[in-house]
Amino acid sequence: MKNLIWIMMLSLFFAVGHSGFTQNPNAGKGNDKKEERKKALEEEKAVQSGAGKVEAKDESAAEQKGNMPDDAKGKGYGRDKDGKPGKGFGMKRSMEARKRLHQNVMAAEERITVQENRLAALQSKLAAAKENFEKRKKSGQLKGDALKQKEDRLKMAEEKIAKFEASIIRHIERVDKRKSDAGAGVETE
């Protein structure tokens, strides 16, 4: 009887010892299946590609590249660095950015020049219209409603020219701010 009790206690001890003292009773069960699945997928890829593990690495790299957001901007995220180290790539990008800023500033200055020429032409045209209006008013050709309409048109033209001049001034200030923010990176001629 003692032997039977000892046998039962030992068998119970071994049975509980293997699975009863672990914190998670299912701890080792899922890992075997995962490893089998990984091996099976690698074998399938090797058979399909014919190149073995080398292409499997390329596919994982392509998947990582595909997981990058489309709107990723800045810091070379997802960019082809042409085999350059980070410092060389950064220097190249900063030179390109300075060049692009210089081109933008030059183009903006050209637009400002065109706008200033247009403003001068509009102001001279308005001055001529005012002279013509005063002449016609003194000679008596304009009376009543026609006089009122011409005055309103001249006032509207003056307001539009003033707004246009203000927009040119704002544009000049923005370009000057870009130049000062850029510092030595933007040279003007």
Dump pLDDT digits (tens) for 119-129: 999 999 999 99
Average pLDDT over residues 130-148: 87
Query: Is 50 exceeded by the pLDDT of residue 88?
Result: yes
- Which of 55, 28, 29 is closest to 42 using CA atoms? 55
Residue 63 lies inside a defined structural domain of this protein = no
Residue 13 lies inside a defined structural domain of this protein = no
N-terminal to C-terminal alpha carbon distance within the chain = 110
Q: Alpha-carbon distance 111 to 105, whole Å?
A: 10
Give the angle subtended at the CA of 12 by the CAs of 9 and 13, to the nearest 5°. 85
Domain of 135, in residue numbers? 86-189
Average pLDDT over residues 145-163: 92
Residue 54 lies inside a defined structural domain of this protein = no
What mean pLDDT value characterizes the chain? 76
Average pLDDT over residues 93-113: 91
Residue 143 lies inside a defined structural domain of this protein = yes
Q: What three-state secondary structure class fits 143? A: coil
Query: Is 80 exceeded by the pLDDT of residue 26?
Result: no
Q: What three-state secondary structure class fits 73? A: coil
